[in-house]
Amino acid sequence: MIHYALICSLEHEFDGWFSSSMAFEAQAARDLVECPVCGDINVRRALMAPCLPRKSNARDPAKAPQPDVPQPSAPPATLQQPSPGHTVAVAGDRLPAHVRVALQRLRAEVERHCDYVGDQFAEEARRIHHGESERRAIYGETTPDEAEELAADGIEVSSLPWVPHSDS
Ligand SMILES: [Zn+2]
């Protein structure tokens, strides 16, 4: 069914339901569409205002059933691309195969060229930064807090999507 806002020559507005726009044209052409107020058959379609789906209204905090509590309007729900340096979560199971392979290759490169220092990562990164350890690339585990502290000290840290090896 298709809904039309209709208007007669005397500006009476009313609703009409038709199986299609062709059905409306056909019925109007045969004078079958008449104004329920005055019976005028000189009926045309009124201009339609854009209709928002109900769902978006329901999510609008201003229309939430809490009239006593003023609520700030929610930010638009658009997803933005993550900024460089931010940790991005990647769901491994759903990765397209070629992305997974690329990440596995990345992991292999890191393992080949960097020293694994385990959970001593933050400590070792600091030592290298201060010239107390051999200058080299390392990798290991660290907490987001530690990574933040390192970054604050000017020590460059990157989080990598660590996918399982292809044989695991
Ligand atoms: Zn009318």
Average pLDDT over the chain reads 78
Q: For residue 33, how far is its CA from the centre of ligand 1 (angstroms)?
A: 11
Q: For residue 29, how far is its CA from the centre of ligand 1 (angstroms)?
A: 17
Tokens of 47: 């201009």
Alpha-carbon distance values, 6 to 35, 41, 53, 135 (Å): 8, 11, 21, 78
Q: For residue 158, how far is its CA from the centre of ligand 1 (angstroms)?
A: 71
**The pLDDT value given to residue 2:** 84
pTM: 0.44
Boundaries of every domain in the chain: 2-45, 92-152
**The pLDDT value given to residue 143:** 84
- What is the Cα–Cα distance from 132 to 105, expressed in whole angstroms? 31
Residues sharing a CB contact under 8 Å with residue 68, sequence separation 6 or more, in sequence order = none
pLDDT tens, residue by residue, 87-137: 455 555 677 788 888 888 888 888 888 888 888 989 999 999 999 999 988
* Ion ligand 1: protein residues whose beta carbon lies under 5 Å: 8, 10, 12, 35, 37-38, 40
CA-only gyration radius of the chain, Å: 32
**The pLDDT value given to residue 37:** 93
Percent of the chain with pLDDT over 70: 70
